[in-house]
Structure 1
Amino acid sequence: MRFIREVERLKSVERTAWTTSGRRESTAEHSWRLALLAMVLCGEYPRLDRLRVLQLALVHDLGETYDGDIPAVAQGDPAAKERVERAAVERLAGCLPEGAGRELRGVWEEYEACRTPEAKLVKALDKAETILQHNQGQNPSGFDYEFNLGYGAEWFRADEMLQRLRGLLDADTLRHLEK
């Protein structure tokens, strides 16, 4: 119960993306839609561990629980960001029985290290979901759509399906830039 009560905080952590109704998106909403995106695309990757993909999607932003989201455009020192997020995950893991806490840390660390095929897919889809929200949301005037064109591009080079997805995302972004 303590863990579930703690992670409820993510419902109130605002991101720099806007929803279609014009309000700021929460980290919890982003993580939920990322998990759905991963679930529907997992069929394209029959060799991947589907459960692990979903676990990675669900825990990837738990590090934002206490100190919030640091937008990509505002991230300075990646090591400092990682230390803050690791401390949050450690704190959350401490709310769980020892084995469950160890598992939570392991999933989060796998995502951070991004060495497994599952983590690499979730990393790319995390970027994709963010770009999708940027393009779909009711953004304030002056929103920087151009940011999308370079955001996380390196994570889409791994395979053909991700490259096609990136092409669709970039085309959608370009439509916004032409307005």
Structure 2
Amino acid sequence: MDPDRIAGTLAFLREAERLKDVLRSGRTSSGRQESTAEHSWRLCLMAVVFAGDLPGIDLGRLLRICIVHDLGEALGGDVPAVLQADGDGRAARERADLERLTSGLAPELRAEIRDLADEYEAGLTPEAVLAKGFDKLETILQHSQGANAPGFDYGFNLGYGRARTDAHPLLALIRTMLDAATRARMEPGDRRA
């Protein structure tokens, strides 16, 4: 056991704790804003509870991807989906923050976390495809059950992350159910319903 390695790992964990205070636009069922850490927790829980429907998937790898997918937000915060745009520089900022956050880790651990984040961003492996899809579905699930503010744009969710959730039959089936729950929360007369 290397004390310097342990000290660097503890410093990383102290910084990663900031995800508990990074608030997202989603609200819990009691109306409190959720944190990025809470979102990541339920994303991992989704992977665990649906693992039996995912033959051939490396659950350990899927969970590691899910755990690190938003680590960069510990330093720079979350950008709500409705405010994200192609070319907004968000991915580069989050990557730079991830590099800063992991800089004190042992080289092999730092490389592993960064590689998992890269795998998620590329979205090409079966585990990354599922992580990206479950990430979108967890957000939609939270919006469909949260005590959201009046005027919340439920219609946005009907198109949100569609390409990611259509990438696997299980994700698409879950999406169908969550879209129905979203429509049930929409205001009467909303044209997107």
Matched, 1:150 2:154: no
The alpha carbon displacement at 1:163 in A equals 1.6
Choose 1 or 2 for highest CA Rg: 2
The alpha carbon displacement at 1:160 in A equals 2.3
Matched, 1:138 2:169: no
Aligned residues: 179
Alignment partner, residue 168 of structure 2: 159
Point out the more displaced range, 43-52 or 158-167.
Answer: 158-167
The alpha carbon displacement at 1:40 in A equals 1.0
SS at 2:62 equivalent = helix
Work out the CA distance in 1 between the residues paired with 2:167 and 2:35: 29
SS at 1:142 equivalent = coil
Identity over the aligned pairs, expressed in percent?
51
Matched, 1:71 2:80: yes
Alignment partner, residue 33 of structure 1: 42
The alpha carbon displacement at 1:150 in A equals 0.3
The alpha carbon displacement at 1:77 in A equals 4.3
Residues 5 and 95 of structure 1: CA distance in aligned 2, closer, same or farther (over 3 Å)? same
**Letter matched to residue 98 of structure 1:** P
For 1:32-111, list aligned pairs within 5 A: 32-78=41-87, 80-111=89-120
Contact 2:123 2:132 in 1 (8 A): yes
RMSD (Å) for aligned C-alpha atoms: 1.2
Matched, 1:18 2:61: no
The alpha carbon displacement at 1:158 in A equals 2.4
Question: TM-score scaled to structure 1, two decimals?
Answer: 0.96
Question: TM-score scaled to structure 2, two decimals?
Answer: 0.89
Work out the CA distance in 2 between the residues paired with 1:167 and 1:77: 26
SS at 2:139 equivalent = helix
Alignment partner, residue 4 of structure 2: none
Q: Which runs of 5+ in 2 are unaligned?
A: 1-9, 189-193
Residues 96 and 155 of structure 1: CA distance in aligned 2, closer, same or farther (over 3 Å)? same
Q: Which runs of 5+ in 1 are unaligned?
A: none
Work out the CA distance in 1 between the residues paired with 2:97 and 2:105: 13
Contact 2:20 2:35 in 1 (8 A): yes
Work out the CA distance in 1 between the residues paired with 2:69 and 2:98: 10
SS at 1:109 equivalent = helix
